[in-house]
Amino acid sequence: MNLLPLSSLDNRGGESVPVLCKPAVAVPEHVITREQTLALCADLHRDHPRLALALRLIANTGVEKRHLVLPIEQVLHHPGFDERNDRYEEEAKLRVPPVIRQALDNAGVTAGDIDALVYVSCTGFMMPSMTAWLINNLGFRPDVTQLPISQLGCAAGAAAVNRAHDFCAAHPGANVLVVACEFSSLCYQPTDLDVGNLLSNGLFGDGIAAAVLRGAGGHGIELRYQASYLLPNTEHWISFDIGARGPHFRLDLRVPGTMADLAPVIARQARDHGWNASDLDLYVIHAGGPRILDDLARHLRVRPEAFWASRQTLSEYGNIASAVVFDVLRRAFEVGMVRDGTRCLMAGFGPGITAELTLGTCVGEDPPDPVPRAPRPLHAVAEPLRLPHQRRSGRTTAHDRMHAHGRVHARDRRHARGHGAAHGRHAADDHGTCCDSDGHPRRLRRRR
């Protein structure tokens, strides 16, 4: 495997390579703690012959709490795959738009500036993809390139970043929006007694993330090199068995040991480009579990505390699948670690077993002026949701927003965004429930 340069733009007379800007992340309002999970498992599976093993595995996940899209009582009741999948679509259409708007604000761009949209999820199925609904309802141009990714599991977040950079390399100056929406709790199978499935019930949480790759300018990470790697003969180690009631998660207990094979791959790729994987400034690593993080740190000869952000995500949210790497990066932004010259490794791991790797250097340009917001709890970091029929009034046309090189100046984008923000919008409470103009809660109607 060769680590490929993401773009030759940096060799073209000073043009910038694409920059991954600060992600926006939100998790649902329903919380379950590790203690509650252990008590439920012990009660529901009291006669399971390997209950002690399952409880020990759950206790050792490093997960203190997880966020669920439904109350636990509804999660435990499985109404059928069709209703669960309908619920995925309903909740995604309700909860994804505010996260997207926050990501656009973070990057200092508008929906009209986006040239490609990558949507990642392995926990719900829609055709046409969620990308079509987003384009029709959130003000994206109809000529936006769509790339849905559904079968890379936890590796898909890093893979989406790499595919977005492929697009930027082919279309210099383009902006790409990446969205990850994972509701793992909707895949819960109450009658599946496989130990790997029981472990997953205490490991995975629900979450949504979005981030923009700007084709030029911006504050974030210039992603310089990328690679994909498939660990031979491990394709059945992480998988879904699809049954009449939906997907059943399968996890081979050998998975945590794969870091012994993948760490040398990461180290070699970094070394081939003059980097030392053991001595970087920022590590954005998928938090698949504490053993994954411990083993990777040991084999890369990295201090365990270098993966602090991954451990925080795992502890506070659980494994939120493809959204993990974005939350890890968000935490690095929020403590000021994304500084000019900072060297960064992003790594995602998932079914295959697949590894998606990226090396990049942070650029310290001042971020765009933030849109003023009231303080929010940690589980609601996105802006209020507008219903599909609503639009920002006073917004300039796509033609008016384009300058001579096909991009909008950051200050012009901020002006246009502020002008639109001055007009009325529907509000949303911290739990993502739409409210009408009088403040009365209202949810999007479920599709039948």
Say what the alpha-carbon torsion angle 191, 196, 199, 204 is, to the nearest 10 degrees. Answer: -90
Phi, psi of 134, rounded to the nearest 5 degrees: -65, -45
Q: How many CB atoms lie within 10 A of CB 418?
A: 13
**In contact, 220 and 362? CB cutoff 8 Å:** yes
154 included as an active-site residue:
yes
Of 21, 41, 122, 154, which is the active-site residue? 154
Phi, psi of 118, rounded to the nearest 5 degrees: -105, 125
Query: How open is the CA angle 288-289-292, to the nearest 5 degrees?
Result: 85
Phi, psi of 22, rounded to the nearest 5 degrees: -60, 125
**In contact, 337 and 282? CB cutoff 8 Å:** yes
User: What CA–CA distance (Å, rounded) separates 185 from 336?
Assistant: 33
User: What CA–CA distance (Å, rounded) separates 170 from 175?
Assistant: 12
**In contact, 211 and 16? CB cutoff 8 Å:** no
User: Hey, which residues are catalytic here?
Assistant: 154
